[in-house]
Amino acid sequence: MKFSIQVNEGPYTHQASDSAFKFASAALEKGHEIFRIFFYHDGVNNATRLTTPPQDDRHIVNRWSDLADKHGVDLVVCVAAAQRRGIADADESKRNGKDADNLAPGFRISGLGQLIEAGIQADRLVVFGD
């Protein structure tokens, strides 16, 4: 079955991104397909590669990047939500005249239409948030 997942909260404050990751991993393990994981609201903070948790803690951002790397999962960060919260890839950064970018590997920035499409294309959309 084809799943899409929406993540609405940032890492380390709310359990939503942990729950979403565990769910996605379990779904892949069972042989399901993850069509897309869409990061919205503060969920866009899952995508900054500057995240540096203590060594004995889980690395939520790297965990997502690994998921994209190993399973080809499409990790999409909402552009409008990302701009508000200072998450940018190199192109976005340049376009907005910023001096740095911080998007972690495996993520891409795109529009809200990607969320609607995720709802249309997948058999189920599961939302994790606050």
Partner 1 sequence: MMSDEMMEDGGPVKKFLYMNRKAPYGTVYALESLEVVLIGAAFEQDVSLVFADDGLYQIAKGQDTAGIEMKNFSPTYRALEMYDVEQLYVEKESLEARGLTAEDFVVEVEVKTAEEIRDLMEEQDVVLSF
Partner 2 sequence: MLLHTVNKSPFEKNALDSCLRMAKAGSSILLIEDGVYAATNNTSVSEKVKGVMGDITVYALEEDVKARGMQDKVMDGIKLVDYAGFVDLVAESDNVSAWL
Interface residues toward partner 1, by CB under 8 A: 6, 8, 40-41, 80-81, 111-113, 115-117, 119-120, 125, 127, 129
Residue 15: half-sphere exposure toward Cβ, Cα within 13 Å: 3
27 binds, among partner 2, partner 1, none (CB under 5 to 8 A by kind): partner 2
128 binds, among partner 2, partner 1, none (CB under 5 to 8 A by kind): partner 2
Annotated catalytic residue within 78, 79, 88, 104: 78
Q: Could you give the CA distance from residue 45 to residue 82 in angstroms, rounded to a whole number?
A: 8
Q: Could you give the CA distance from residue 74 to residue 92 in angstroms, rounded to a whole number?
A: 19
Neighbour count for residue 106 (Cβ, 10 Å): 20
Residue number, 32 or 49, with CB nearest to partner 2: 32
Structure tokens belonging to residue 130: 């606050």
Active-site residue, 78 included: yes
Residue number, 25 or 51, with CB nearest to partner 2: 25
